Amino acid sequence: MKPQNNTLKKLLLVCCIATIIACSKDDNPNNQTDEKLVETQSNINTDEYTNDKGELGISLNSRNLTRKGYTPYKAIITINEGEKSGEYEIDIDPDTNLAFLAFKNKNLSDTAKNELENGVSINVIINDALGTELAIYNSSKISFKPSPDETEVDNLAKPDIHPIILDSNADYYMQILNDDITSVRGAPSATLITSTSDLNTEIKIRAGSDLDYVNDTQQTIPFTKFRFEVVDSANNIFNIYNPNGNKKHYLYINSSNTLAVQSNANITKNGGNTDASDLENYKFKIQKTDIGKFVIIPVQSGSPLYAPIGSGNLKPSNTNASYFRILNFEIDWNIESIGTKFLNPILPASKTLAAYNTALKNCSSGSLSQLVGIKKSETRTDTYSWSESIQVSTTVEASLSTTISTTVEASVNCQFFGASNSVSASATAGISYAHSTTETRTESTEITTSKTIEIASEREITVPPGRGTSAADIYQVYENIKVPYVQTFRVRAKYENNTSLDGGEIMTQFNFNGFSGVVTEIGSDYIEVSLKGITLINQLIDTTTETRDIPNACS
C-alpha cells in the first residue's frame, strides 16, 4: 500500500503547484494571453501643436476718394491711448484702396490686446503722394479685430473732379430720377418747340411711364433728346439744345425763372440759330454729387434745377435738387474681365482639434493589427460678393443679352502646424450688366462654392508585442476669413454708326449709369475699371495623420 500512497501524494503536489502558477498569472493584468489589442491612454495631445495666434486690426477704405478722381497714397493713423499709442504710416493699396493696420497677437501683451479689442481712440489722415491732405477721420472708440469690417474714410467737401465728356454730335436723352435714384420719374421734353407764335415755351416733364425710346417717334424720341456744346470744359459747363434738323432749340432760364426752350418762333425772330456761348442764362453746369447722382445748375442762378412731385416744370431751387442722367441708348458695349487682385486678410487665431484620437496596446507575444479611425469630413464654403457693380442702359440687343464671364481668385497666406502655407480660392461667374432704357437697377452678384475636406479616415495599424500605438487625425482651422479683392475689366464701346467712343466718353456714360466701381485707367478708346468685393471663407483647414509609438505600454 505504501507505493500507492506515495504516488497519490505526488499527483496532489503537482496539481497544487499548477493551480498556484495559474492564479499568479491571472493576478497580473499585464500578462495578456488573449490575442487582441486593448485600448489605452493616447500620448498625442492637441496642446502640443503650434497654433497661429492671429492678428487684430482695422481696415480703412478710401475708395470713394479714388472714385471722385483723387489718388489716396498713405494713411497716417494715430492711436491716442493705451500701450500701442503712437503714429503709424500705412501705404494704401492702389488696387483695393484699402489700408490695414494690424498687430500680431503673439507680439501683444494681455493688456495691449484687451485695450485694442475693447476699442481705442484714433485719428486718421489720408494723403496723396505729394503729401496733400485728402481726408480726415476721427473715432473716439474703434475696436481692432480679425477680419474687421471696413471703415470708410471720405471727404464730402471734395467734389468729383472727373471731366464730363459728351460728344457734341451725338444725341443724348436726359432723364429725371427719383430721390434715391431707383426709378425714372420722367424726362425733360421740348414738345412745345413746334410753336410758330409763342416766344416763351417752357420745358415740360414727360412721365416715366410714357417714355418709349424704341417706338415712340412722335414724342419721346424727338423731344427728349438733346445735344451738348462745351462752354467751359474745366467746370463742365454746356449749352444744351434739342436738335431739329438744322435748327438748334436751346434751353435757357426765362424771366419767370423756369427752364424754357426756344421755339420755332424764337429761331425765326432771331434769324436762325442763336450763338448761346456768351449768354449766361443759356449756360448749365453739370455736377456729380454722388454715385449716379448728377445735378444740372443754371450758371445764372447757381442753384440746381428741381421739379417737385406733380410739377410739370423745372426751376432753380435753393433747397432741393432733381437728379439727372444723360444717356445715349444706342451704344454697343464690349466689356471683358482682365484679372483679379486681392489683399491678404487680417487672420483670426487658428485652433487645433482632434477628429479622432485613440491608443491600443499589445501585450501578447506577437504583432497584432486592427482597423482604427472613423470617416469624417468638414465643408469649406467660399462666398464671393461684389459690393460694386457695372450697369448700362441700352437698346442694343447684343449688349442686353451679354454677360461677362469672370473668374475671381484669392489666396490666403497662413500657418498650419508651424509652417507657412498658402491656400487658394477661385470661382467663375457670369455678370449681367445691361438693362432697358428706363431701368436703374444695380447688377450685383454673389456666388458660392463648396469643397468637402476629409478630416478623419479609417486605416489599419500594426502594434508590435509589448508595445502600444497611438493613432490620431488632427486638424487645424481658421474660421470666418474675409479676403478683399478687386476684379478688373476693360471697357470699349461704339456708337450706332460704328464710331468708337473715346475713354472720356465711356467714363462719362458709365458714371451717368450709376457705375459704383472705380475707373483705374482712361485710354484713347477704352477705360479700365475695378469692382470691389469680399470673399468670405467659412473655414480653412489643414490635416495631419499621426501614428506614435508607446514603448512601455505593458509594463
Cα dihedral: 18, 24, 25, 29 (round 10): 160
What average pLDDT does range 45-51 have in this prediction?
95
pLDDT of 434 higher than 90:
no
Q: Is residue 555 part of a domain?
A: no
Let me know whether 306 and 360 are in one domain.
Answer: no
Residue-level pLDDT at 405: 64
Q: Give the per-residue pLDDT at 144.
A: 99
| Mean pLDDT calculated for residue range 283-308 | 97
Provide the residue count of the chain.
Answer: 555
Instruction: Tell me what the mean pLDDT of segment 338-362 comes to.
Output: 94
The helix (H) or strand (E) run that includes residue 61 is strand 55-61
In a domain, 49, yes or no: no
Q: Which of 297, 312, 327 is the last residue of a domain?
A: 327
Look at the block and give the residue holding cell 441708348: 329
Indicate if 323 and 374 belong to the same structural domain. no
Q: What pLDDT is stored for residue 202 in this prediction? A: 97
- Select the more confidently predicted residue: 410 or 342: 342
> C-alpha cell of 106?
503673439
For 228-242, how does the pLDDT look when each residue is reduced to its tens digit (9 = 90+)? 999 999 999 999 999
Mean local confidence (pLDDT), 120-130: 99
**Which region among 140-154, 163-177, 382-396 has the lowest average model confidence (pLDDT)?**
382-396
pLDDT tens sequence across 21-40: 444 444 444 444 458 999 99
Q: What DSSP string runs through 472-536?
A: EEEEEEEEEEEEEEEEEEEEEEE-TTSPBPPHHHHHHHHHHTT--SEEEEE-SS-EEEEEEEEEE
| pLDDT recorded at residue 24 | 44
Cell of 59: 481696415
The DSSP element (H or E) to which 91 belongs, if any, is strand 86-91
pLDDT of res. 445: 76
Q: Is pLDDT above 90 for 550?
A: yes
Tell me, yes or no, whether 27 lies in a domain: no
Same domain for 213 and 304?
A: yes
Task: For residue 295, give the 3-state DSSP assignment.
Answer: strand
In this predicted structure, which of 45-59, 424-438, 476-490 has the lowest mean pLDDT? Answer: 424-438
Q: Which are the contacts of 128, defined by CB distance < 8 A and separation ≥ 6?
A: 70, 71, 72, 73, 134
Whether 150 shows a pLDDT value over 70: the answer reads yes
Residue 377 falls within a domain, yes or no?
yes
Run of H or E residues at 16: helix 2-27
pLDDT tens digits, 260-284: 999 999 999 999 999 999 999 999 9
Residue 6 has pLDDT above 90, yes or no: no
Same domain for 106 and 208, yes or no, is no
Predicted pLDDT at 424: 79
Only one residue has cell 418709349, namely 212
| Contact assessment for residue 349 and residue 412, using Cβ atoms and an 8 Å cutoff | no
129 shares its domain with 202: no
Average pLDDT, stretch 201-223?
95
Same-domain status, 318 and 353: no
Is 90 exceeded by the pLDDT of residue 379? yes
Residue 165: pLDDT band with limits 50, 70, 90: very high
Which grid cell sits at 496?
450706332
- Read off φ and ψ for residue 237, nearest 5 degrees: -105, 135
Coil vs helix vs strand at 232: strand
Looking at the fold, whether 529 and 453 belong to one and the same domain comes out as yes
Q: Give the residue from 97, 129, 145 where a domain finishes.
A: 145
The verdict on 369 and 408 lying in the same domain is: yes
Cell output for 231: 462752354
DSSP string for 131-189 = --EEEEEEEEEE--BSSPPEEE---TTSPP-------TTS-EEEEEE-TTSSSEEEEEE
Residue 154 near residue 64, CB atoms below 8 Å: yes
For residue 410, what pLDDT band results from cuts at 50, 70 and 90?
confident
Answer whether 380's CB lies under 8 Å from 537's CB: yes
The answer as to whether 346 is a domain residue is: yes
499 and 371, same structural domain? yes
Give me the chain's average pLDDT, please.
Answer: 90
> What local confidence, expressed as pLDDT, does residue 39 receive?
93
What pLDDT is recorded for position 400? 43
Does residue 10 fall inside a structural domain? no
Indicate whether 37 belongs to any domain: no
User: For position 517, what pLDDT does the model report?
Assistant: 94
Q: Are residues 255 and 390 in the same domain?
A: no
CB 46 within 8 A of CB 354: yes
Per-residue pLDDT, 16: 43
User: Which percentage of the chain shows pLDDT scores above 70?
Assistant: 88
Do 415 and 488 share a domain, yes or no? yes
**CA geometry: angle at 253 spanning 250 and 254, to 5°?**
105
In the block, which residue shows the cell 450758371? 299
Q: Which H helix or E strand runs over 400?
A: helix 397-400
CATH of the domain at 141: 2.60.40
Residue 11 neighbours by CB under 8 Å, 6+ apart: none
Q: State the virtual CA torsion across 11, 13, 16, 21 in degrees, nearest 10.
A: -110
Straight-line distance from the first to the last Cα atom of the chain, in angstroms, rounded to the nearest whole number: 51
* Mean pLDDT of the 211-219 span: 95
Between CA 170 and CA 183 the distance in angstroms is 25
Please state the domain count of the chain: 3
Q: Which of 292, 327, 362 is a domain's end point?
A: 327
**Domain span including residue 303:** 172-327
CATH value at residue 192: 2.80.10.50
Give me the torsion for CA of 302, 305, 309, 310, rounded to 10°.
Answer: 120
> What's the CA gap between 486 and 383, in Å, rounded?
15
Residue 364 sits in a domain of what CATH number?
2.170.15
- Residue 531, domain member (yes or no): yes
Same-domain status, 271 and 384: no
Three-state DSSP at 107 gives helix
For residues 130 and 553, the model is more confident at: 130
For position 426, what pLDDT does the model report?
Answer: 76
